[in-house]
Amino acid sequence: MLIRSGQARTRAELIARTGLSRSTVTQRLSELFDLNLIVSVGDAASTGGRPPSFLSFNSRAGAVISVVLGSTHMRVALLDLGGEILAQHVEAHVMSGGPVATLERVAAAVDGLRDDAGIEPHPIWGCGVGLPGPVEFASGRPVSPPIMPGWDGFPVGDWLRDRFSCTVLVDNEVNVMTLGEREQCFPGERDLVCVKVGTGIGAGLIIDGRLYRGAQGSAGDIGHIYVPGHDDVVCECGNTGCLEAVVSGRGLARRLREAGLDTHSSRDVVREAQNGSQIAVQVVREAGRELGLVLAGLVNSINPAVVVLTGAMTAAGDNLLAGAREVVYRRSAPLATRNLRIVTSTSSDKAGIVGAATMTVDALLDRITGAEAQPPSSFATATSRAG
Amino acid sequence: MLIRSGQARTRAELIARTGLSRSTVTQRLSELFDLNLIVSVGDAASTGGRPPSFLSFNSRAGAVISVVLGSTHMRVALLDLGGEILAQHVEAHVMSGGPVATLERVAAAVDGLRDDAGIEPHPIWGCGVGLPGPVEFASGRPVSPPIMPGWDGFPVGDWLRDRFSCTVLVDNEVNVMTLGEREQCFPGERDLVCVKVGTGIGAGLIIDGRLYRGAQGSAGDIGHIYVPGHDDVVCECGNTGCLEAVVSGRGLARRLREAGLDTHSSRDVVREAQNGSQIAVQVVREAGRELGLVLAGLVNSINPAVVVLTGAMTAAGDNLLAGAREVVYRRSAPLATRNLRIVTSTSSDKAGIVGAATMTVDALLDRITGAEAQPPSSFATATSRAG
């Protein structure tokens, strides 16, 4: 949206940038003023006649709820429309109690945040959710999620929409983290891959400026790509030699156990690597190379400008990144790596929360401004019920 | 474009579908009528008042030039704006004479087609070119193309624009073929990968409905992805074990030579396979599996709906396709292959020519209808000079 990004600040600039007629721009601006989304902030230099007003996006016109469910924690936050966190709540939580118990905890946490923070004056516009497994984005339902027993096909989006009376968007956790990484650390980047290496492994793809979900919503699901040299390692998916079975926190803990260390989780692996265990450092480096081989395939195939590594295993030190870089640069076409940056995330834990909010705000604004060819009816319903 | 695809047939439907104001739609239609791009074809059923006219895209308003340069042949054609071939010329040609000699041949062939076919009444709107190597799309220049000595950085787009006095778009041959495959065999498909297996190997990606070129224009360049088991095979790029070194026509000819056959080219490999040589069939099948491993990575990563195999090696029989399918289905996540189709191209040799024309017409129409945020000045200049 041109006003939000600062690319157009007056009515005349909007008309010039969009090619829309004056009457169309005036009508759309009027809708945005009605929603309190746009405010006038002083006058631009006059060029004769009535001085034009500067238009500014009012990020405090409403708030969105962000929910990120991980394998061990849930994180719930309220953010303004500019992605600023207004209030946040984190608690230890496992998904094994099934969807209703978890979503009741989410709803209670949201109620708590709204009470505590005096957020009520901000109408809730929408809710963005990240789940630790495959999600059918259009319906907001998990699809055979391996670490979420009882969640397969559960209408997470519908359940929360009924509870919060607002538009709810549900996606997998890596996709929302990818949006948050871009928003926080690479604003405006059009070609970015974000790879999470934690208990599992997955990626999110930003392609030509938009998150790409693929034909069935499984784009970025790189955890089951074959890595040579580990044909004896059986993955949870039933195949052997999958990236996730070999390089994830679980996979590394197993490899270190076989070498005699007492490692059972990502955290154990990180501890051993940070303590300077020679074998842990070696195995993490080798895992970086194996990850790099898969990333080289991705870099050759889709030619991103940025690859960001995130997730628990990045805390094991620079060896994961170094190993990945080594093989990506060795095994990719020179043109594809000419300006490529491969970096570790610096966005701390906020990326998921910010990304879920960004996903929601972008979708709502697309709907209002007509970038999506849908009438804004469901949005209007949601805000009037929430307001 | 809504009129071209038949999604909107009257002024009222256009207003409803685009959300643009009546005055904006009227102004844009007036420009299109001026260019002879839109014609009225009879009246729709009246709903009272003046009956609305059906609008139709006039594909004969102009013509585009298509040029596809391969490693052994050049193909030049004139097509109407709907992608119908008006006249075509094919000749044996090698690229080693350098760019000027080749482009002079192209220009002479185009002149011949225009004279022969009485095409003059169609103004030439633009020219689309496919080259057998990496191309910087924005500047229309080849970038270190391995099989085009003397072409590195040559301004192919500028040279032809000066010669033909029209907009010229230059891309690599596989991208152009990908657009042609979609246009001819999968109209409207939003998520498609086209893989050419010939003397070399490359892919084109259609992502969310548009050809994706990546950050540096090298998206789809899968020929140098690592294939396990061939670390002794040196590729032209200097690495070992690249897909192209192992599975291309050249690679297969080498493997069959080592097995005692007299094969030196893609054509020799195809001949042996078609003649039922046991060893040729085995090697092609194994090459299909190796190709499948790379395609499985692509399917896991970007989750296309369709993978099309094309290029000379597809003539070696169904073993290439069968081997590829075998491994893609074995090594991809079930969700990614649920509705996936993996097929061999049926578009014969026309895909490149049609794709180069489609690329050109789409870009010109985007520019006229404002889908691209550029003024149509260069287009106007080109048509007025050509007309």
B296: contact with A, CB 8 A cutoff = yes
Is the pLDDT score of B176 beyond 50?
A: yes
A88 membership: H or E segment, kind and range: strand A85-92
- Determine the distance in angstroms separating the CA of B352 from the nearest CA of chain A, rounded to an integer: 21
Q: What chain A residue is nearest to B293 in terms of C-alpha separation?
A: A226
What pLDDT, on the 0 to 100 scale, is given for residue B7?
Answer: 60
**Do strands A210-212 and B124-131 pair parallel, antiparallel, or not at all (unpaired)?**
unpaired
Q: Determine the Cα–Cα distance for residues A363 and A382; give it in Å rounded to an integer.
A: 14
B149 Cβ contact partners less than 8 Å away, ≥ 6 residues apart: B95, B96, B98
Q: Any idea what the Cα angle at residue A334 is, between residues A205 and B267, rounded to 5°?
A: 95
Q: Does the CB of B2 have a partner CB in chain A at under 8 Å?
A: no
Q: Which of residues 45-104 of B touch A (CB under 8 A)?
A: none
B208-221 pLDDT tens trace = 999 999 998 899 99
Matching residue, tokens 């990144």 = A321
Most B-contacting residue of A191, A226, A227 (CB-CB within 10 A), to test interface: A226
Give the nearest partner residue to A333 out of B191, B221, B335, using CB atoms.
Answer: B221
8 Å CB contact of A296 and B226: yes
Share of chain B above pLDDT 90, in %: 61
Residues sharing a CB contact under 8 Å with residue B142, sequence separation 6 or more, in sequence order: B131, B133, B134, B135, B136, B148, B151, B152, B153, B154, B156
Nearest CB among A21, A220, A297 relative to B23 is that of A21
- Which has the minimum average pLDDT: A22-36, A90-104, A135-149? A22-36
* Mean of pLDDT values over B74-103: 90
**Which of B19, B330, B336 faces A216 most closely, judged by CB atoms?**
B336
Q: pLDDT tens digits for A262-313?
A: 999 999 999 999 999 999 999 999 999 999 999 999 999 999 999 999 999 9
DSSP string, A14-67: HHHHH---HHHHHHHHHHHHHTT-EEEEEEPPPSSSSPPEEEEE-TTS-EEEEE
Chain A residues with beta carbon closer than 8 angstroms to that of B23: 21, 23
Q: The whole model's pTM is what?
A: 0.85
Size of interface A-B (CB pairs under 8 A): 170
* Section A54-63 average pLDDT: 75
- Residue B215 to residue A296, Cβ atoms within 8 A: no
User: Is any Cβ of chain A less than 8 angstroms from the Cβ of B342?
Assistant: no
Alpha carbon distance B315, B306 (integer Å): 20
- Kindly report, residue by residue over B153-165, the tens digit of the pLDDT: 999 999 999 999 9
Chain B CB contacts of A220 under 8 Å are: 301
Structure tokens at A73: 């924690």
A301 and B CB contact within 8 Å: yes
Q: Which residue of A has its CA nearest to B333?
A: A224
Ramachandran category for residue B327: left, alpha or beta (phi over 0 → left; psi -120 to 50 → alpha) = alpha
Among chain B residues, the shortest Cα distance to A27 is held by: B21
Q: Is A281 helix (H, G, I), strand (E, B) or coil?
A: helix
Average pLDDT over residues A58-64: 80
List pLDDT tens digits, range A212-227. Answer: 999 988 999 999 999 9
B 306-335 → A contacts, CB under 8 A:
330-335
Q: Are B38 and B49 a contacting pair, CB within 8 Å?
A: no
pLDDT at residue B72, as a whole number: 81
A139 at interface of B, judged by CB pairs closer than 8 A: no
pLDDT band at residue B236 under the 50/70/90 scheme:
confident
The least confident of A115-129, A224-238, B84-98, B277-291 is A115-129
Q: So what's the pLDDT on residue B381? A: 31
Nearest-angstrom CA–CA distance, B36 and A377: 38
CB-based contact B355:B363 (threshold 8 Å): no
| Contact across the interface for B216 and A338, Cβ inside 8 Å | yes
Residues of B in Cβ contact (< 8 Å) with A219: 301-303
Residues of A in contact with B293 (CB under 8 A): 226
Disruptive mutation site among B211, B216, B341 for chain A (greatest number of A CBs within 10 Å):
B216
Enumerate the H helices of chain A as residue ranges: 11-18, 22-34, 99-116, 156-164, 173-185, 243-247, 249-258, 266-274, 278-302, 319-331, 334-337, 350-369, 377-386
User: Cβ distance B48 to B38 under 8 Å?
Assistant: no
Nearest CB to A218 within list B226, B229, B336: B336
Least confident stretch, B114-118, B127-131, B363-367: B114-118
Please tell me which of the candidates B210, B305, B373 has its beta carbon nearest to residue A215: B305
ipTM score assigned to the predicted complex:
0.84
Residue A147: exposure state from Cβ atoms within 10 A (0-12, 13-18, ≥19): middle
